[in-house]
């Protein structure tokens, strides 16, 4: 599919065909959605699909997870006319932060952080990332939000292009309102990385 073509019928997830499989090996995600972001209608439809379940929900700020979650998170924040909060990999913020260790989809131990002055009790936050594979990265972001909110700040929801039915993905889906773009009939293929 070229980057100018828009299908006559645009069903939820039509833009998933723009993604490309990993050709670089096991240290990379199995699928790359970044080409989807280059297609103007695909990006708009993807963000609309992610936000649809949250229509009518009170959201104060959208938080995107470093780095690819910044793209979808910022687009969602602009669409909602809300602020955007960057949840960063450790060592990138020059202000006071709180940190949370986690294990990413490849099994690597990492640390993410967020500025301490951006989250207050009662703030309603939509957490956005590109993908939830094992759930480790998103769970760490949830823990940061809840800790900074003193237990009085729980995510309004979690959104990602795909939320795999891994143990961690299920943990998130059981506890939070979630949104993703993969149609149910395709979910098994995504879970099996096909």
* pTM across the whole model: 0.93
Cis peptide, bond prior to residue 189, ω within 30 of zero: no
Q: Please write the tens of the pLDDT for every residue from 35-93.
A: 999 999 999 999 999 999 999 999 999 999 998 999 999 999 999 999 999 999 999 99
Q: Give residues with Cβ within 8 angstroms of 46, minimum separation 6.
A: 15, 36, 72, 161, 181
Retrieve residue 73's tokens.
């998170």
Integer angstrom CA distances of residue 85 from 45, 102, 117: 22, 19, 11
Listed residue (9, 53, 2) closest to 181, CA to CA: 53
- Domains contained in the chain, CATH given: 14-192 (3.40.50.2020)
Q: What is the pLDDT of residue 1?
A: 60
């Amino acid at each position: 599919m070229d980057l100018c073509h828009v299908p006559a019928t645009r069903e939820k997830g039509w833009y998933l065909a723009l993604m490309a499989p990993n050709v670089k090996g096991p240290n990379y995600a199995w699928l790359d959605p970044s080409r989807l972001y280059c297609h103007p209608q695909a990006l708009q439809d993807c963000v609309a699909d992610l936000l649809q379940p949250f229509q009518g929900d009170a959201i104060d700020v959208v938080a995107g997870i470093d780095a690819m979650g910044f793209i979808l998170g910022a687009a969602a924040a602009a669409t909602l006319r809300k602020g955007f909060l960057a949840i960063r990999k450790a060592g990138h913020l020059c202000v006071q932060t709180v940190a949370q260790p986690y294990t990413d989809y490849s099994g690597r131990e990492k640390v993410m952080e967020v500025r301490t002055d951006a989250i207050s009790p009662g703030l309603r936050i939509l957490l956005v990332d590109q993908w939830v594979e094992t759930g480790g990265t998103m769970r760490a972001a949830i823990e940061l939000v809840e800790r900074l909110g003193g237990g009085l700040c729980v995510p309004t929801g979690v959104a990602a292009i795909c939320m795999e039915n891994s143990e961690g993905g299920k943990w998130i889906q059981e506890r939070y309102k979630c949104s993703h773009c993969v149609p149910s009939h395709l979910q098994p293929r995504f879970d099996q990385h096909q």
